[in-house]
Amino acid sequence: MNLGKLLKTIAIAGASGTIGRALEKFLTEKGDSVKRLVRRSEIDNSEIFWDPNNDDLDPSRLIGVDAVVNLAGAGIGDKRWSQKRMDQIINSRVKSTKLISETISELKSENGPNVLVNASAIGYYGNSGSTHVTEEAEQGEGFLAHVCSNWEKSTQEAEKAGIRVVHARTGVVLSSSGGLLKKLLPLFKLGLGGQIGSGKQMMSWISLRDEISAINWMIEKEIEGAVNLVSPEPASNLEFTKTLGALLKRPTILKVPNSALNLLYGRQLVEEIMLSSQFVVPKKLQDTTFSFRDASLEEALLHQISSKS
């Protein structure tokens, strides 16, 4: 077996985030070469300078790269949604994706990347209630649906050039090192955890290690278009609350009222992120031989609580 043909060179935009760090570690440990897109001066050949705000990315630096994974984008749930913040959320995604898409489309005949795995989110579907949603569902309503739609359309130049493009529509990624779970763990450990609103809203989640495995899968397999990166077993907010409390052996009797959330975060963010219900099905992954390591919520939470990953 010629390992040289199996191992790849992967460029990652957004490598400093929770998913990006874990992906770089995973790829490096399996023997792939990783190049990080950075917005400062390059330290060594493992880094590639880029500046999406000024359309600056040297195409020659991507020659020899097999695939690009674009995870870049301003945080969605970490600040109130002022008009300025909403503009940052959408522009940071659209500009970075367009720049990567246009750059690699120029390299199609010059040993450039032939795969683009571009981040997206299940926010594309909007508030779908208890309806089971697959990749074939239409775009929903709301700001996040608008963001995701424009985000995905920004890969058009790469698609026109014949590059295989995958839109990783990711759910809530469970990791003790970042995102929702990192914020909730200190509160739950103090016995201050509780359901949000009615607790009936469905949460489509995925463990960090399954997220990373799925991204690697999409790099290696002939899959394209939108792919839902979520566990086959979504949970209601109440189920999530009770499961996390039980694993930590802490009470979860508190209830966080909508009015308090609106005061802290603003009504639109609360309605679209905290109170929105999404029962998303990972149909494309289920139709393949992809295997989830953390199919159940309890497994995923237990792994994160007992590890530092």
Q: pLDDT tens digit string along 128-154?
A: 999 999 999 999 999 999 999 999 999
pLDDT per residue as tens digits for the range 238-276 = 999 999 999 999 999 999 889 989 998 999 999 999 999
Tell me the average pLDDT across 155-166: 97
Contact 101, 140 (CB under 8 A): no
Asked whether residue 6 carries a pLDDT value surpassing 90, the answer given is: no
Query: In this predicted structure, what is the pLDDT of residue 308?
Result: 52
From residue 129, alpha-carbon distances to 133, 236, 245 in Å are 10, 11, 25
Tell me the average pLDDT across 10-32: 97
From residue 130, alpha-carbon distances to 124, 201, 277, 300 in Å are 16, 8, 7, 22
Asked whether residue 157 carries a pLDDT value surpassing 70, the answer given is: yes
Query: In this predicted structure, what is the pLDDT of residue 309?
Result: 44
- Give the integer Cα–Cα distance in Å for 191 and 253: 9
- For the chain, the average pLDDT equals 95
Residue numbers of the domain that contains 68: 3-305
Nearest C-alpha neighbor of 171 from the set 115, 221, 228, 128 = 228
Query: In this predicted structure, what is the pLDDT of residue 290?
Result: 95
Tell me the average pLDDT across 148-161: 98
**Count of domains for the chain:** 1
Query: In this predicted structure, what is the pLDDT of residue 110?
Result: 77
- Give the integer Cα–Cα distance in Å for 130 and 286: 20
HSE-up of 308 (CA within 13 Å, CB side)?
0
CATH number at residue 185: 3.40.50.720
- Give the integer Cα–Cα distance in Å for 7 and 266: 46
pTM value?
0.94
Asked whether residue 2 carries a pLDDT value surpassing 70, the answer given is: no
